[in-house]
Amino acid sequence: MKKFLFILTNALLIASCSKNNESIESEIIRADKIIFGGVYGMCGGDCRDLYFINDDQLYKDADNNSDEYGSWSNTSFEEELDQQEFNNTESLLNVPSSLLNQDTSDELLVQAWADVDYYIYIEKDGKTKELILDHIHPDASPEIKAYFNTFLKSYEELGGYMIDTTNIERYY
């Protein structure tokens, strides 16, 4: 009888364990639009190299000196890029919900130098998130690190200016 109760108790414990991995994996949402690229600190004139993507198309910024510094989410996009470039960057629209819905700490998204920074503007159902950063902190969540790597790959394929983010441990 004791053996039967032991087996039954263990079976109930195993059956009651959750199979839900929500705490491990973040939900992925499809953004309405993303503006991404590079913005430059101490410069005169056109201080950005930005792209706009939505479900239909990818555009390059208008290269216009009249845009106000820091108002990058209001940049005009006139140059429509080809379908292959769109296909190569479309995965940027798949955003971890934690990136849009949570207050992303400055400890995780690091903007340390006034030089060339990465810029990401996310919009979903009227909710927006604007990120200006040099690199992702090593303690950031895996889904945020993965999204940033997708951003870097997409931006590099479009010919964006890249800074070395591989040896960041020396700054901590």
Tens digit of each residue's pLDDT (9 = 90 or more) over 39-67: 876 666 667 789 999 999 999 987 665 55
- The mean-pLDDT minimum among 52-56, 126-130, 160-164 falls in 160-164
Does residue 11 lie within any of the structural domains?
Answer: no
pLDDT more than 90, % of the chain? 31
- The mean-pLDDT minimum among 14-18, 24-28, 47-51, 153-157 falls in 14-18
Query: pLDDT band for position 1 (50/70/90)?
Result: low
Does residue 85 lie within any of the structural domains?
Answer: yes
> Does 10 or 132 have the greater pLDDT score?
132
Query: pLDDT band for position 100 (50/70/90)?
Result: confident
Does residue 14 lie within any of the structural domains?
Answer: no
User: Which residues span the domain enclosing 110?
Assistant: 27-164
The pLDDT of residue 14 is: 54
> What is the total count of domains within the chain?
1
Tell me: pLDDT of 18 over 50: no
Does residue 115 lie within any of the structural domains?
Answer: yes
CA angle (5, 6, 12) in 5-degree steps:
85
Does residue 169 lie within any of the structural domains?
Answer: no
Average pLDDT, the chain: 75
Does residue 44 lie within any of the structural domains?
Answer: yes
Does residue 126 lie within any of the structural domains?
Answer: yes
Does residue 89 lie within any of the structural domains?
Answer: yes
CA angle (42, 48, 54) in 5-degree steps:
155
